[in-house]
Structure 1
């Protein structure tokens, strides 16, 4: 996938990467705007173990989980090799600046076109929204990492794609904070076993408890159960009644 992005940039074509997890999939199933954001992406890769498990249950396994928190590093490594530039957009004040320092330390050859941590609520004020987008557009980067959470970051990307048609965009959620060292990712064993959400919940319970426990966990269980039932019906030659993956 990284090679594809490099090839497209070399050809002068821009695009957008969306990395759906359980929460994004749930929203896309129930909200037209969220669904449109996913459908408008140039590349869609799964960031969420339940999506991988569901694809395996369906008999059409996805190759791997591809978190935005990993992509931000692999894309930056490729941009450094190609003498291309990246831009960091998002995070609390000071986060993008710290992430830029971390990236410069890891990839000395990487060109960083700039960084911006817009004030909270900027997206609800047209003047601030347009000013932020104009700042990014003026830097003319090859890749922009937008870490504002879904779907806010996708709304920003939709505007920036019109201003920077040859640029690639990654909506990366909390990844800028991970790069900056402000947030810590879950241990590798939790990532591999689908428990990264539990690590994040333990670190941010007030913000994430309702999202994970009330919405996402029940949706993930439904997704897996319905997918398993549909495959069982197919094996038996029947047609499942009701339910949806």
Structure 2
């Protein structure tokens, strides 16, 4: 599981993929969604190259909670499938890919990408914009990023009021502020799927801009929410740290919804691996018998 905000509706058990594979090499199907087998550094390089060519895009970071939602909701599956880059934010997805024999190289989180992409933006002179988080938090996050990456140009920040996306006026206000700021890289920390639905709409009028759906990354950057120690992240236990930190808000999502989904996913992948080995063993025996 992962610390990224979700807010998605409950979903059913892990199904086979319901969205056809997207074109291009290096895509791996895990838990019914297609993700890119990229390291964090490779994501940064791909964004930088596209930005130099004047192309924008959308980065989504599926975790267990997002995959669980995608298992039930075709619109959520399509939202992930339409993203230009999808990387696994969740060690269970990395573990599952290894069991399936198509190993993802590493976990890539929005909370990490906000740092590495900002450093790239500073080097490439790409203005950035931070959208999401409570008032005061987003401004402080911009200050922290600027201090970490000298030369970073922050074109603007915005903390839209709760429920702004439910009215055309609220969305228009956000869109107009973004267009006026003219960023090239926008971090949107509103929680999945709200942030990614908004990104899909904003991209229509800002095709040369890269948008990153980054969940709680803005709050992490500002220090308003603590991240787990690195050893817990590497061990796939960041969800446990978040659960201990915010039990009232996260207990149901992590313990009732996400943990059973993750366990079923890993069990199914393990069973598939065992079956493949048995089949290969039987084929080897038949080949030896013919010989």
TM-score for the superposition, normalised by structure 2: 0.80
Unpaired stretches in structure 1, ≥5 consecutive residues: 239-245
Deviates more, 1:84-93 or 1:127-136: 127-136
Distance 1:94 1:158 in 2: 26
Q: Give the superposition deviation at 1:68.
A: 0.6
Distance 2:226 2:181 in 1: 29
Determine the structure 1 residue equivalent to 2:257: 215
Determine the structure 2 residue equivalent to 1:30: 72
Distance 1:26 1:137 in 2: 34
Determine the structure 2 residue equivalent to 1:242: none
- From 242, 253, 275, the equivalent of 1:200 is 242
Q: Give the superposition deviation at 1:139.
A: 1.1
Distance 1:68 1:189 in 2: 18
TM-score for the superposition, normalised by structure 1: 0.95
What is the aligned residue count?
238
SS at match of 2:224: coil
Q: For each residue in 1:174-229, what CA deviation from the matched residue of structure 2 results, as whole angstroms up to 9, or x when unmatched?
A: 00001111011000111010100011111111211111111100000000000111
* Structure index of larger Rg: 2
Q: Give the superposition deviation at 1:108.
A: 2.3
- From 41, 46, 58, the equivalent of 2:83 is 41
2:204 paired with 1:162: yes
- From 142, 156, 163, the equivalent of 1:121 is 163
Contact 1:133–1:156 (Cα < 8 Å) also in 2: no
Deviates more, 1:216-225 or 1:121-130: 121-130
2:252 paired with 1:225: no
Unpaired stretches in structure 2, ≥5 consecutive residues: 1-42, 281-291
Q: For each residue in 1:13-39, what CA deviation from the matched residue of structure 2 results, as whole angstroms up to 9, or x when unmatched?
A: 111111111101111111112111100
Distance 1:237 1:96 in 2: 54
Task: Note the 1:63-212 alignment, pairs <5 A.
Answer: 63-212=105-254
Task: Note the 1:225-244 alignment, pairs <5 A.
Answer: 225-237=267-279
Q: Which runs of 4+ in 1 moved over 6 A?
A: none
